[in-house]
Amino acid sequence: MAHTIDTETQTKIANTLKPILAETFQLYLLTQNVHWNVVGPLFQGVHTLTEEQYTELAPAVDEIAERIRVLGEKAPGSMKAYAALGSIEDGDENAPAETMVKALSAAHSLLASHIRPAITLAAEAGDEVTAGLLTDRLTTHEKAQWMLNAIVA
């Protein structure tokens, strides 16, 4: 017999995903900011890496939003909502390259720290799809953080 997740639990999981969606979008924008505005000796490596990262983040935003919808909730889709739900700060397009890279690394770390408990919540509820989606996201953020940290080691 198939396991079903009750509506209350689906809502709880969806509401846990909303800040993760907001922060994924904020991270996407922060990554674009670095990609567009980085200068100096780190330019080529950071420019190339951030292009790979924002290209991966764009579909992730959609996947998280669609999962929220599957769980029966509306996906937040405005800058106002993302500002209220997320905690990744805007980037400074005038910052030195090393500062930009460190800010990106910190943003990946912050998002990963919010994903970990959401994986546990989803897994304990028997929501393997959400747990799998979030585990994949965590893998991506941990790798991105490692690559960014290697640039400024």
pLDDT at position 4: 84
Q: Please state the rounded mean pLDDT for residues 76-95.
A: 97
Q: Please state the rounded mean pLDDT for residues 125-132.
A: 97
Which of 7, 2, 9, 1 is CA-nearest to residue 123? 9
Q: Is the pLDDT of residue 102 over 50?
A: yes
Exposed, middle or buried, 98 (CB in 10 Å: 0-12/13-18/19+)? middle
Q: Please state the rounded mean pLDDT for residues 130-137.
A: 98
Rg of the chain's alpha carbons, rounded to an integer? 16
Q: What is the pTM of this model?
A: 0.95
Using a pLDDT cut of 70, give the percent of the chain over it. Answer: 98
Q: What is the pLDDT of residues 1-60, one digit of tens each?
A: 456 899 999 999 999 999 999 999 999 999 999 999 999 999 999 999 999 999 999 999
Alpha carbons within 13 angstroms on the beta-carbon side of residue 60 total 28
Q: Please state the rounded mean pLDDT for residues 114-136.
A: 98
pLDDT at position 3: 67
Q: Is the pLDDT of residue 153 over 80?
A: yes
Phi, psi of 77 (to 5 degrees): -145, 35
Q: Chain-wide mean pLDDT for the chain?
A: 96
Residue length, the chain? 153
Q: Please state the rounded mean pLDDT for residues 135-153.
A: 96
